[in-house]
Structures are given as C-alpha cells and as structure tokens.
Amino acid sequence: MVLIRWLGHAAFIIGVDEATILIDPWITNPLSPYRSVDSFAKDYKSVDYIIVTHDHGDHVGEAAELLSKFKSSRIVAVFELAEELAKKVGAIERSIPVNIGGRVRLEKNLEVVFTPAFHSSSKGAPTGVVIFSKNKSLYHAGDTGVFGDMKLIAELYRPYVALLPIGGHFTMGIEEAVKAVELIRPRMAIPMHYNTFNAVFTDPQLFAKLVKERVPEVEVRILNPGQYLEI
C-alpha cells in the first residue's frame, strides 16, 4: 500500500510501509493546508526522507527548516544540492547525495532512482525521481518539459503512478503533459504544479479530458490540496 498526499504545487507526502517521504517540501505554498513548519509538525511527528528535485525556491521550500525540526530526517537530492542543504543546518551526516540514473536503497523495501528533468537549476542538475516500494513505483517528474526518454523511464521502471506538472510557463503545460502520459503510460496520472501562482494557472479537468480521449487506459486523479489517496 502506498499513501499519497498532495500538499499543493509539487509537494507530496508519500507513505510506504517502512518510511514517510516528503517530496519538494514547499509546505507553505498558497494551496497547502499548512502555513508553517510548526503546524505541519503537529500532524507529522517525523519524516524519514526529504527529497528535493532541484534548487528552485518553490521546490526546496522549507527543506532546511524541516531538517532542523526533525532531527532524524535525511535529505535525498542530487549531490551538490543535498550537501548544501545538509551543511546549511549543520547536519552533513544526514545527507544522502545521489545522481541521475543510479538506484539507491534507502530501506529494505524502498529504493529511489533520480531521472533527468529538462529544466534549470543553480546547484546540480534538475531531476525527477522514481520511488520503488514493495510492489508499486511512483514517478515524480520534478519540473520538466516533455522529453522522449520518458519512454525509457517507462520501460525501465514501469511507474504505477506518475505525478506530472501541467501548469505551463516553467514546465509542461497540458498538451505536453498529455504527451508525457502517452510516453509513460502509468496506471494513474496525478497533475501537479498548477494554480499555485498566476504563471501556472490552468484547468486540470482539461488534462483529464484529453488523457481520457487519447490514452483511455490511464486514470487521471485530480487531488485537492491536503487530500489522501491510497493505492
């Protein structure tokens, strides 16, 4: 069982048997149910892993503050970014630096592999990430345009769920995200990175409609911020 909770923008909490994982922890984004790390900490006593896909502010979010608050949390990110964030809070021993293309085991039944993302970043390469739990894998695309090697991600990792940006401007818009669904062919697609601020306003229902027309075997689930989904 995998528990997925969207906090708005690209922030997700993923619960698997052995760990709780927070991805792109801008937990105080305008759609999020949380306005501070303290309010978040009332619901979550610990987070085992904080994954950051790249160093833009709307993805790093409150990573440093969370690492300071949760003393057992570890930061998992591309080498340069993981080291920088861990050093910032004086916790280099809690850094798990990774890079694109190599599977990394975090727990007995929990592995991650970082994927390319076509985007920009100041510290290290921008990435997406595939998380493998006992029997389901989940692909968080990070911030990216659509690219042909999403097909390779599909062939290698067969993600059950794909979390895809649809907001346009800085990432794929709806047309491109539908193409991404065609390339990845997950069982389920969840749109993200939209309606957080003006540049990324869009209609997720249109994404769902186009996927239904063009790739009907893929189910689109539009989550409300704060909503849980069990798969």
List interacting residues with Zn ion (CB under 5 A).
56, 143
Contact 74, 46 (CB under 8 A): no
As given in the structure block, the two tokens for residue 60 are 């790093």
> In terms of CB distance, is 84 or 143 closer to Zn ion?
143
* Shortest distance (Å) from residue 120 CB to Zn ion: 7
> In terms of CB distance, is 31 or 210 closer to Zn ion?
31
Q: In what order do the strands lie in the sheet with 49-51?
A: 95-98, 74-78, 49-51, 19-23, 12-16, 3-6, 228-230
> In terms of CB distance, is 62 or 143 closer to Zn ion?
143
> In terms of CB distance, is 56 or 179 closer to Zn ion?
56
Q: Using CA atoms, how far apart are residues 145 and 153, in angstroms rounded to an integer?
A: 15
* Shortest distance (Å) from residue 125 CB to Zn ion: 12
* Shortest distance (Å) from residue 121 CB to Zn ion: 7
Q: Using CA atoms, how far apart are residues 83 and 46, in angstroms rounded to an integer?
A: 21
* Shortest distance (Å) from residue 76 CB to Zn ion: 18
> In terms of CB distance, is 48 or 55 closer to Zn ion?
55
Cα of 38 vs its chain's centroid, Å:
22
DSSP summary character for residue 90: T
Contact 140, 10 (CB under 8 A): yes
* Shortest distance (Å) from residue 149 CB to Zn ion: 19
